[in-house]
């Protein structure tokens, strides 16, 4: 295969970004970070086409298929929205609006547009040759190039540009759409430009080429030809000239000028980066730095500013990093950092290539290297007057005003590493020597512990002089000491110090920050206060701390840099023990690990505000004021829905079979710069009540789902926490089994309700029968008592009256005793009459048959007739069925009230009222008689009578309230009230 036949199908001019305003970017600040995906990573082999769609997804066309890439996974697309490709040999790709145009190696074109497809084959004028490029001119005419010529779309048929139209046949022409929307064709016989509004061409130059030309960002076109100098066509002047290229570049394979105004030139050994003025900045040489030796095709620049290259071995990405690693001498390790004047940073290291005299040098603010004669220093510090001090295992160095002076360590201190240096407020230099303790140095004089025996005993891991003229000593195992005005104060875990081995200290704005292998803390009111990350865990391996002028706190931890912004830092000072942080690790260009013994400090601030860090194998920097942010909001996509038995490509309205309970859903978003830090949150409407944090996972699982309609939604965020504008969604329906349908549930509910109703009727019948049985038993007992009273008590009273009559007859008519006997006989007759009334009352049927109103009407009319009293009954409201036992007790109370009124009230009118209210039932019996006696009103009953007491007891049994109102000479009323929920059935 001709290597140029598989050219890039869609250049920047054809991507969705080409016609939109693309923000320019500054030149590459760091060494661009490269990553390659090859066949074992799922990447396409020998891809020939590449394009980015509106969602940010990258599409690749290759000999082994069409692939979609989200930054993490290559997905082979055998079909789009259910429509299959004509062939797996994809040769060209283009995006116009929402339509994806696919050209195949052996001819044929497919256009996939919002769920539809249109295929063009030989019958529609497409030649049986490879389709190499698509284009669309300003008059909306579609074009493509193939090995046989240039074609344009006339309605539904493709027509070839003929020699009569000004363009020769064949010879593998290549097309470009210029910025003005016109068409440029490079051909073996020359360069041709389309005459706007026609299908004719005019020849511009006889510099012919079979290699693909490249449209640059400024609208000019580079024309390549093997063995010949590259040419540059300027559409504005219609001129073809020899462009200015690096002198080392003869005939490049590809040239690209990116948004950062950088030149990327593919040559025979890999890829080369040049500055705008064509100075070589970096080489990515195969096979170590790039996936292929020859880079034939210019890259695609995505919307996040990354560059994507396709080679015969796979796909390569080049992106900017937030950390800026610096080139160090080969073989150097274990770097120490010391800030110098005017933004300088002094760097020293150990070198495996030159262990005797490794260099210590400085990097100026402008990037210049400043050499020195100093050896490998393991510690350094800068005095307030700008003097620099360095220490190695043999010498103490001082650099002042550009001059270096050195002193040898005394014999007891020789061959021991310098652990830490600090200059106190009084200008005295303090030196911590490994396994030897702490000393002061003053003009060649060494003093153990500075005259303090407590400080001479232990080696300090770190030293720090703060703004309050305090000198701090950091030791192992949560121990520190402070020297101020000649007095020493010791601190340990009882003072809140829980950072472990104290590796770093920094002070600003009156706050001392302390870091160690087990955490971070600050000194406040005589105690140390620990600060943890947002998950409650301590920061690990803190060997460098800087609080910036902007109020941010930076730490160098064991696996990278950590930034805490000013707001979080203020919250920490106000008592918050957890803070949110931003992490910078290998994804940002970090390499190696932070030292945990020496050299320390591993993070410093230069005078220009930039932060420098040192690891076991690298040195780098970051400017806190200019951190690159990815402001492109990702577009989430739902890709697949999986059940236990089948997989469905995401499409709204999926109907899942009955008995589906468990499923999982795949989703993604194109986060192409740092996809490892993409975050997602999901929810299933119909199941979840709120959003769920999915972290970096791109699938979620659901179990025990019931039938019904569901809608799954997902949101995505990029590495900088920029969330998508709207969620992606997928609606689906789980078909219910017959026993899960609504009609089946209604049927079951009806059967259940019917069964309960039958049980209710049966229970009601049982309760009624029991109530009737109790009433019959009570009536029988009353009749038995009545018979007994009649046969015993009344008969005895009558017999006694007859005896008194006999006695009376035997007495003379004028006998005074005879009158007394008559009075006694009258009283006996009254007793007999009252007894008969009571017997009659016992024999009356107390069972209330039918409704209460009818029963009381019959009772009242029959009882009032002998007394000549007018009886009436009134009912208010809708008549309701009363509960059996309630009706029984109410009937008995009313009967007692009627009886009392007829016998004692001396009234001409008697009335009973029944009120069926919604919330209360009321029964009232009233007369217009003489009222109750004073004794009855006071005691609530008549002497030796129990009727009123019985009414109260009956009312209490049904939880009713009974009230008796009486006014002398105005009548009496008996009122019973009962809640409706207790009265009605």
pLDDT in tens, 820-857: 777 777 777 767 666 665 655 554 445 566 788 888 99
Neighbouring C-beta atoms of residue 757, cutoff 10 Å: 10
User: 560: Cβ–Cβ under 8 A, 6 or more apart, which residues?
Assistant: 583, 584, 585, 586, 588, 590
pLDDT of residue 2: 32
* Pairwise CA distance, residues 550 & 443, whole Å: 38
* 296 and 413 co-located in one domain: no
For range 340-347, the mean pLDDT = 96
The answer, yes or no, to whether residue 3 has pLDDT greater than 50, is no
pLDDT of residue 799: 76
User: 542: Cβ–Cβ under 8 A, 6 or more apart, which residues?
Assistant: 499, 503, 504, 515, 516, 517, 519, 520, 555, 556, 557
Evaluate whether residue 325 is within a structural domain. Answer: no
Top mean pLDDT of 736-750, 854-868, 888-902, 914-928 is at: 914-928
Q: DSSP class of residue 709?
A: E
pLDDT in tens, 267-310: 778 888 988 888 888 888 877 778 887 787 889 999 999 999 99
* 573 and 711 co-located in one domain: no
Evaluate whether residue 853 is within a structural domain. Answer: yes
Evaluate whether residue 134 is within a structural domain. Answer: yes
pLDDT of residue 642: 97
The answer, yes or no, to whether residue 19 has pLDDT greater than 50, is no
* 81 and 174 co-located in one domain: yes
* Pairwise CA distance, residues 533 & 553, whole Å: 13
State the pLDDT confidence band at 8, using cuts at 50, 70 and 90: very low
pLDDT of residue 841: 57
| Last-in-domain residue among 734, 762, 784 | 734
The answer, yes or no, to whether residue 790 has pLDDT greater than 80, is no
* 59 and 149 co-located in one domain: yes
* 961 and 821 co-located in one domain: no
* 671 and 804 co-located in one domain: no
**Cβ burial, residue 322 (10 Å; 0-12/13-18/19+):** buried
| Last-in-domain residue among 622, 650, 684 | 622
Q: Which residue has the higher pLDDT, 399 or 376?
A: 399
CATH of the domain at 159: 2.130.10.10
- pLDDT above 70 covers a percentage of the chain that reads 93
* 702 and 765 co-located in one domain: no
pLDDT of residue 248: 65
* 661 and 750 co-located in one domain: no
Query: Any idea what the Cα angle at residue 798 is, between residues 796 and 802, rounded to 5°?
Result: 115
pLDDT of residue 1: 32
The answer, yes or no, to whether residue 797 has pLDDT greater than 50, is yes
For range 960-967, the mean pLDDT = 90
- Domain enclosing residue 894, as ranges: 848-985
CATH of the domain at 687: 2.60.40.10
For range 919-924, the mean pLDDT = 94
* Pairwise CA distance, residues 737 & 959, whole Å: 51
Residue 252 has which token pair?
């490049």
pLDDT in tens, 622-667: 999 999 899 999 999 999 999 999 999 999 999 999 999 999 999 9
Evaluate whether residue 888 is within a structural domain. Answer: yes
Query: Any idea what the Cα angle at residue 115 is, between residues 109 and 120, rounded to 5°?
Result: 15
| 431 touches 396 (CB < 8 A) | yes
Which residue is listed with tokens 């020998």?
46
Average pLDDT, rounded, for the chain = 89
* 871 and 756 co-located in one domain: no
* Pairwise CA distance, residues 611 & 626, whole Å: 11
Evaluate whether residue 1 is within a structural domain. Answer: no
* 381 and 434 co-located in one domain: yes
For range 747-766, the mean pLDDT = 91
pLDDT of residue 294: 79
* 842 and 862 co-located in one domain: no
- pLDDT above 90 covers a percentage of the chain that reads 62
* H or E element that contains 749: helix 742-789
pLDDT of residue 250: 61
Evaluate whether residue 5 is within a structural domain. Answer: no
The answer, yes or no, to whether residue 17 has pLDDT greater than 50, is no
Evaluate whether residue 676 is within a structural domain. Answer: yes
* Pairwise CA distance, residues 248 & 965, whole Å: 123
3-state secondary structure of 303: coil
* 40 and 104 co-located in one domain: yes
Task: Work out how many domains the chain is built from and give that number.
Answer: 5
State the pLDDT confidence band at 22, using cuts at 50, 70 and 90: low
CATH of the domain at 938: 3.30.565.10
Evaluate whether residue 96 is within a structural domain. Answer: yes
| Last-in-domain residue among 817, 847, 877 | 847
pLDDT in tens, 578-592: 999 999 999 999 999
């Amino acid at each position: 295969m001709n290597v140029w036949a598989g050219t890039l199908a869609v250049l920047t001019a054809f991507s969705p970004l080409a016609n939109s305003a693309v923000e320019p970017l500054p030149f590459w600040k760091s060494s661009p970070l490269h990553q390659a995906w090859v066949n074992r990573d799922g990447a396409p082999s020998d891809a020939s086409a590449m394009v980015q769609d509106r969602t940010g997804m990258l599409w690749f066309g290759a000999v082994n298929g069409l692939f979609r890439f989200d930054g993490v996974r290559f997905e082979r697309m055998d079909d789009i929205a259910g429509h299959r490709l004509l062939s797996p040999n994809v040769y060209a790709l283009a995006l116009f609006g929402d339509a994806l145009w696919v050209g195949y190696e052996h001819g044929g074109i497919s256009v996939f547009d919002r769920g539809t497809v249109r295929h063009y084959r030989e019958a529609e004028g497409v030649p049986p040759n490879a389709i190499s490029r698509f284009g669309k001119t300003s008059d909306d005419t579609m074009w493509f190039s193939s090995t046989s010529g240039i074609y344009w779309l006339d309605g539904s048929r493709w027509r070839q540009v003929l020699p009569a139209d000004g363009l020769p046949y064949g010879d593998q022409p290549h097309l470009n759409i210029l910025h003005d929307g016109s068409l440029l064709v490079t051909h073996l016989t020359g360069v041709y430009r389309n005459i706007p509004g026609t299908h004719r061409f005019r020849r511009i130059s006889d510099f012919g080429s079979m290699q693909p030309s490249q449209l640059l960002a400024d609208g000019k076109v580079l024309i390549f030809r093997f063995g010949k100098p590259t040419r540059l066509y300027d559409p504005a002047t219609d001129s073809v000239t020899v462009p200015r290229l690096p002198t080392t570049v003869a005939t490049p394979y590809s040239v690209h000028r990116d948004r950062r105004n950088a030149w990327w030139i593919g040559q025979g050994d890999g890829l080369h980066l040049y500055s705008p003025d064509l100075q070589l900045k970096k080489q990515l040489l195969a096979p170590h730095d790039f996936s292929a030796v020859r880079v034939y095709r210019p890259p695609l620049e995505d919307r996040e500013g990354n560059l994507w290259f396709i080679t015969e071995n796979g796909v390569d990405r080049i992106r900017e990093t937030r950390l800026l690693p610096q080139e160090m001498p080969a073989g150097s390790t274990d770097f120490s950092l010391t800030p110098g004047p005017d933004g300088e940073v002094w760097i020293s290291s150990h070198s495996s290539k030159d262990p005797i005299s490794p260099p210590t040098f400085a990097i100026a603010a402008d990037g210049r290297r400043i050499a020195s004669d100093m050896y490998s220093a393991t510690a350094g510090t800068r005095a307030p007057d700008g003097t620099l001090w360095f220490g190695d295992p043999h010498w103490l160095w001082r650099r002042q005003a550009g001059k270096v002076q050195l002193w040898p360590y005394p014999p007891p201190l020789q061959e021991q590493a310098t652990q830490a240096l600090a200059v106190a407020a009084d200008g005295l230099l303090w030196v911590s020597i490994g396994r030897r303790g702490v000393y002061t140095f003053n003009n060649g004089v060494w003093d153990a512990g500075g005259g303090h025996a407590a400080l001479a005993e232990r080696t300090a891991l770190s030293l720090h002089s703060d703004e309050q003229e305090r000198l701090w000593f950091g030791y192992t195992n949560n121990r520190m000491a402070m020297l101020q005005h000649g007095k020493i104060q010791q601190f340990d875990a009882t003072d809140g110090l829980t950072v472990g081995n104290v590796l770093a200290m920094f002070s600003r704005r009156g706050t001392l920050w302390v870091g160690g292998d087990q955490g971070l803390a600050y000194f406040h009111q005589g105690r140390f206060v620990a600060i943890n990350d947002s998950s409650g865990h301590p920061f690990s391996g803190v060997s460098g701390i800087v609080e910036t002028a902007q109020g941010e706190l930076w730490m160098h931890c064991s696996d990278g840099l950590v930034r805490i912004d000013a707001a979080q830092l203020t919250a920490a000072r106000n008592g918050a023990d957890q803070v949110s942080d931003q992490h910078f690790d290998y994804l940002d260009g970090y390499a190696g690990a932070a030292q945990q013994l020496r050299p320390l400090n591993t993070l410093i601030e230069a005078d220009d505000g930039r932060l420098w860090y040192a690891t076991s194998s690298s040195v780098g920097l970051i400017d806190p004021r200019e951190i690159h942010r990815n402001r492109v909001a990702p577009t989430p996509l739902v890709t697949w829905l999986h059940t236990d038995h089948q997989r469905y490509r995401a499409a709204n309205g999926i109907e899942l079979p009955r008995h589906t309970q468990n499923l999982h859903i795949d989703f993604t978003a194109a986060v192409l710069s740092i996809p490892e830090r993409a975050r997602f949150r999901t929810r299933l409407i119909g199941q979840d009540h709120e959003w769920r944090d999915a972290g970096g996972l791109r699938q979620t699982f659901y179990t025990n789902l019931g039938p019904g309609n569901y809608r799954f939604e997902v949101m995505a965020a990029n590495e900088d926490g920029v969330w998508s504008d709207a969620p992606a969604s997928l609606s689906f329906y789980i078909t219910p089994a017959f026993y899960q349908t609504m009609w089946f549930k209604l049927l079951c509910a009806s059967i259940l309700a019917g069964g309960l109703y039958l049980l209710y009727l049966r229970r009601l019948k049982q309760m009624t029968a029991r109530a009737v049985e109790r009433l019959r038993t009570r009536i029988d007992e009353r009749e038995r008592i009545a018979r007994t009273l009649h046969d015993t008590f009344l008969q005895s009273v009558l017999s006694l009256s007859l005896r008194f009559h006999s006695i009376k007859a035997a007495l003379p008519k004028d006998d005074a005793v005879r009158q007394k006997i008559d009075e006694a006989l009258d009283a006996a007759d009254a007793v007999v009459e009252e007894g008969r009334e009571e017997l009659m009352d016992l024999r009356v049927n107390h069972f209330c048959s039918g409704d209460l109103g009818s029963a009381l009407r019959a009772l009242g009319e029959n009882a009032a007739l002998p007394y000549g009293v007018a009886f009436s009954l009134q009912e208010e409201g809708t008549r309701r069925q009363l509960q059996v036992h309630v009706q029984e007790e109410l009937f008995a109370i009313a009967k007692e009230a009627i009886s009392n009124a007829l016998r004692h009230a001396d009234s001409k009118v008697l009335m009973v009222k029944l009120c069926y209210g919604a919330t209360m039932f009321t029964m009232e019996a009233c007369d217009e008689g003489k009222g109750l006696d004073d004794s009855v009103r006071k005691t609530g009953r008549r002497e030796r009578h129990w009727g009123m007491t019985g009414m109260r007891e009956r009312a209490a049994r049904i939880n009713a309230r009974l009230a008796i109102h009486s006014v002398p000479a105005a009548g009496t009323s008996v009122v019973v009230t009962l809640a409706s929920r207790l009265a009605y059935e």
